[in-house]
Structure 1
Amino acid sequence: MTLQDVADAVGLSVNTVSRALAGKSQVSERTRDTIRAEAARLGYVPNSHARSLVSGRTMVIGLVITNPSNPFYAALISAVEQRCRRSGYSVLLLVTEESEANEGEAVQQLLTYGVDGVIAIPVQHNGDSWSRLVAAKIPVVFVSRDLPDFGFDFVGIDAEAGVAEAVERVAAGIDRAWLFEEDLRISTTEARIAGFRRALDSSGIDQQRSLVIKVQTRRAAGASQPWRPDDAHQMAANLITAQNHPDLIVAGNDYFALGILKALRECGLSVPGDVLLVGYGDHPFAAYLDPALTTLRLPAEEVGTTAVDYLLERVADPSSPRRTQLLRPELVERGSSRRSA
């Protein structure tokens, strides 16, 4: 079916049918509804390639993420897709698995498809691939992690402030704290560590007796699966056995917290009686643990919708000034950090 077929069926010109199907205001609502109904009956599908030749746009946004098993990224994908769909855009999803080589291939696909813009979580080990999009004048918005030298718009989480707030909120009576973090050299990990150390200083917690523990995860090897509790479980059990337990443990994600909770119980320690426990991410199981997990809830939907808004504004006006926004996570206090009076 072609536009001419639809026009013949409704007895109107091709131009009128085209404007109606594109949602142009020059066509009355009644006529637009009639044309759309007839187009649907005939099975007419717009030719996106022909439309892009006329408009100069593909109406496709590229979304590049590192790992879809991360619950935050899964929520981000949904938010981006919904916002793009409401704006008439489709989404091309590409996954890099923390691999520079995969990131380079993803950028090549973005160039091949000729997307109108890109929302991306960069691997951060080497940003050379992104310079190809700069050269092609394809606008980019980074989310979660930034490479500020490129001057792209950025929407992220203020992880440093969030972790600092969480530690400071429970700091009374704490002499020693541990932070279990993912062993990846990325800005989000560094921000959580910075927030942890900042809170130790501001709360008077002993820096020398406190630890930042790097947990090697399966994501570091590029496997597509979520963090697992056993990533942190055995390491926590070994440390607790080898030395005195801390008063507070902060986990860089709720999966780590789940494994740490098991390790504490195996060592005869109670939460929150002996050790306070704080997670990060507010994953769906966090509220159903015993005790329920105090954690930081991340505004994934707001990050996604803000990134789409920034990108579409950049597509419309490439010369506008760079914008950055850090969104504050919400501390959700539950039983794992509440000591009995």
Structure 2
Amino acid sequence: MPEGHRTTLKDIAESLGVSVNTVSRALADKDSVGVETRNRVKAEAERLGYVPNVTARSLVLGSASTLGMVITNPSNPFYAQLISGMEQHCRKHGYSLLLMATEESLDNERRAAEELLRRGVDGVLVVTVQEGAEHWRRFRSAGVPLVLISRDVPELNADLVGVDHVLGGYQAASHAIARGVRKICFLEEDLGVSSVTDRVAGYRRAMAESGLPVEPDTVIKVPTRRLEQSAMPWDPGEAYRLAKDVLRTADRPMAFVAGNDYFALGVYRVADEAGLRIPEDVLVVGYGGHPFAPYVIPALTTVELPAAEIAVSAVDHMLRRLKRPPVEGPPEKILFPPRLVERASSGGGR
């Protein structure tokens, strides 16, 4: 074959002296072609370097065998685990995963939605920026299933698979309270998304059940700088700066609960500089179960998120949607419980 020439079914057919239709059916393992002919065709296709044209095949079959995945920041360890788990599970069922990142930008999300529509994906798994929903409604109008991951958008009336973040925030705060803490500072992201508001709601519920007040200055929103520093989803430096301000006050908190483990790193540095011991002087509880949590000193108590289970469930849910027409009625909400892992930063374990 000439250099740069893409091998076609016609090339294989001419090389073997058979029809193009025979080659097509042999490569598709159709019973109408004998085993010996099928093996000859496959061997010749491999020798000539034949690669199927997926786009052309999707036009014939009416399916791209591709799912789109829109994520905010793939360097977020939780989302990185989701991507890996979903890609593996998609491959197991004969689907490819087309990934796009938005970096919490609505404009980027709109462009991603437009591109996925143009490519004709079979369905979309999305962690939305939760600002605007019209671009996602176009998928529903086109009959393309949409499954939300982690963050809910009620006006979309779409299926959701994610974490019970209310429970996660509740677990973190309740654990600190059970250790005798009566004042807790909650460091959370400055994003107006459901995962953030749910964690704060869980924290407030734990405090209320224990008869403890939530003072105005104890829920602190930490700037994430995601758009300026897109390679890293969170900046421990901002949590460090804010925690430092809190610990300057005479009535300092006895515990910090961080909305993610990176913020906890900022608290660690503040405590070290102030000569405070963790957990003797101040307890620290993280969130996310990031890989470094067991290896910092002291090891970080954190709320682990079931990324692997969510990945499999989300893909399975999408595949079920693809096998049946959309149903009327309320969307399905599947929330997996997180798990608090107790370590030395809250006085337990090592």
Compute the TM-score of the two structures, normalised by the length of structure 2.
Answer: 0.88
Following superposition of structure 1 onto structure 2, how do residues 31-180 of structure 1 map, counting pairs within 5 Å?
35-172=41-178, 173-180=180-187
Taking a change above 3 Å as real, the CA distance of residues 17 and 215 of structure 1, as seen in their structure-2 partners, is: same
The reply to whether residue 333 of structure 1 matches residue 339 of structure 2 is: no
Aligned to 1:288: 295
Partner Cα distance (2:195, 2:70) in 1: 17
Give the distance between the partners of 2:287 and 2:33, measured in 1 at CA.
51
- In the alignment, is the contact (CA less than 8 A) between 1:99 and 1:222 conserved in 2? no
Could you tell me how far apart the structure 2 residues matched to 1:318 and 1:34 are? Answer: 40
Residues 221-263 of structure 1: CA deviation (Å, up to 9, x unaligned): 6744221211200110111012322122100010000111111
- In structure 2, the residue matched to 1:229 is 236
After the TM superposition, which of the residue ranges 119-128 and 165-174 deviates more from structure 2?
165-174
Aligned position for 1:186: 193
Shift of residue 207, structure 1, vs aligned partner: 2.8
1:22 & 1:69 partners in 2: Cα distance? 39
Contact 2:173–2:184 (Cα < 8 Å) also in 1: no
- CA RMSD in angstroms, aligned pairs only: 2.5
Deviation at 1:25, TM superposition (A): 7.5
Query: 1:5-20 to 2 correspondence within 5 Å?
Result: 5-6=11-12, 17-19=23-25
Deviates more, 1:51-60 or 1:311-320: 311-320
Amino acid at match of 1:248: A
Distance 1:27-1:246 versus aligned 2 partners, 3 A rule: farther
Partners of 2:10 and 2:25 lie apart in 1 by 13
| CA distance in 2 between partners of 1:87 and 1:268 (Å) | 55
Match of 2:332 in 1: 323
Task: State whether residues 100 and 125 of structure 1, in contact with CA within 8 Å, keep that contact through their aligned partners in structure 2.
Answer: yes
Note if contact 2:66-2:97 (Cα within 8 Å) is conserved in structure 1.
Answer: yes
In 1, the alpha carbon distance for the partners of 2:30 and 2:233 equals: 45
In the superposition, relative to structure 1, how do residues 9 and 224 fare at CA in structure 2: closer, same or farther (>3 Å)? same
8 Å contact from structure 1 (residues 79, 305) kept in 2: yes
Structure 1 residue identity aligned to 2:60: V
User: Structure 1 residue 55: deviation in Å?
Assistant: 0.5
Deviation at residue 318 of structure 1 after TM alignment: 2.6
Cα gap change, 1:294 to 1:12, in 2 (>3 Å) = farther
Answer with 120-129 or 162-171: which moved more.
162-171
Secondary structure of the residue that 1:45 maps to in structure 2?
Answer: coil
Which shows bigger deviation, 293-302 or 321-330? 321-330
Q: Which AA in structure 1 matches 2:324? A: D
Change (3 A) 1:147 1:92: same
Distance in 2, matches of 1:276 and 1:43, equals: 61
What code does the residue aligned with 2:175 have? R
Q: Secondary structure at the match of 1:279?
A: strand
Aligned to 2:210: 203
In structure 2, what is the equivalent of residue 279 of structure 1? 286
Distance in 1 between residues matched to 2:313 and 2:39, nearest whole Å: 32
Aligned amino acid, residue 198 of structure 1: R
**What's 1:260 paired with?**
267
Q: 2:315 maps to which residue?
A: 308
Q: Which runs of 5+ in 1 are unaligned?
A: none
- 2:133, 2:155 within 8 Å by CA — same for their partners in 1? no
SS at match of 1:195: helix
CA separation in 1, counterparts of 2:27 and 2:140?
Answer: 34
User: Counterpart of 1:69 in 2: which secondary structure?
Assistant: coil
1:250 maps onto 2:257 in alignment: yes
Q: What letter corresponds to residue 240 of structure 1 in structure 2?
A: L
Per-residue CA distance 1:177-220 (angstroms, 9 max, x = gap): 11000111000000110011111122333334871111112126
Q: Structure 2: which amino acid aligns with 1:59?
A: S
